[in-house]
Amino acid sequence: MSYLKLPGVIAAITVVLVLGVGGWMTTIDQWYRDLRKPTWNPPDWVFGPAWTVILGLAGWSAVLAWNQAADVAGQRFILALFGINIVLHMLWSPLFFNLRRPDWALIEIPFLWLSILALIVAVWPASRLAGWLLVPYLLWVSFAAFLNFTIVRMNRPAP
């Protein structure tokens, strides 16, 4: 396997793992169904395809930025930022669904949002396309933040 193909394989495996773990940690049960949600809340089936496309674009962005980085230090920095983003990305579902704390999930979202913004800023010098590929992620998380905020407002705080 050539050097240029290895980052793509690693990114693809990482995206599949993040999607799999994220799906596993997202429990659509009676508690979730009973939450009051705004009329503009997308149907549940939309989230899986949306996250698949968004994280696929993020994986592509990571590969472009990695391959275009000026040096090994730049590659490590990009890898560290993507790693931080993955951790923050993976925190939201257990907070919202498993702990049943939309209010805690709402507190976590700005950190996730800032990690995406940091990624865009960091990859831009290496590859503008890599930066643009992260914009749907930032927009979707912005939408999710407003949805999360609305759900918190519409429902009693957790005990």
- Would residue 143 count as lying in a domain? yes
Measured distance CA(142)–CA(128) in Å, rounded: 21
pLDDT score recorded for residue 104: 96
pLDDT score recorded for residue 158: 57
Indicate the DSSP class of residue 94. Answer: I
What is the number of domains present in the chain? 1
Closest CA to 63 of 7, 1, 123: 7
CATH number (domain holding residue 70): 1.20.1260.100
For the question of whether the overall pTM of this predicted structure is more than 0.85, the answer is yes
Establish how many alpha carbons lie within 13 A of residue 152's alpha carbon, considering only the half-sphere containing its beta carbon: 15
pLDDT score recorded for residue 7: 78
pLDDT score recorded for residue 124: 95
Measured distance CA(9)–CA(1) in Å, rounded: 10
Q: How many residues does the chain have?
A: 159
Residue 143, SS3?
helix
Residues of the chain with pLDDT under 50: 1-3
pLDDT score recorded for residue 5: 84
- Would residue 140 count as lying in a domain? yes
Q: Can you give the residue range of the structural domain that contains 127?
A: 6-33+43-154
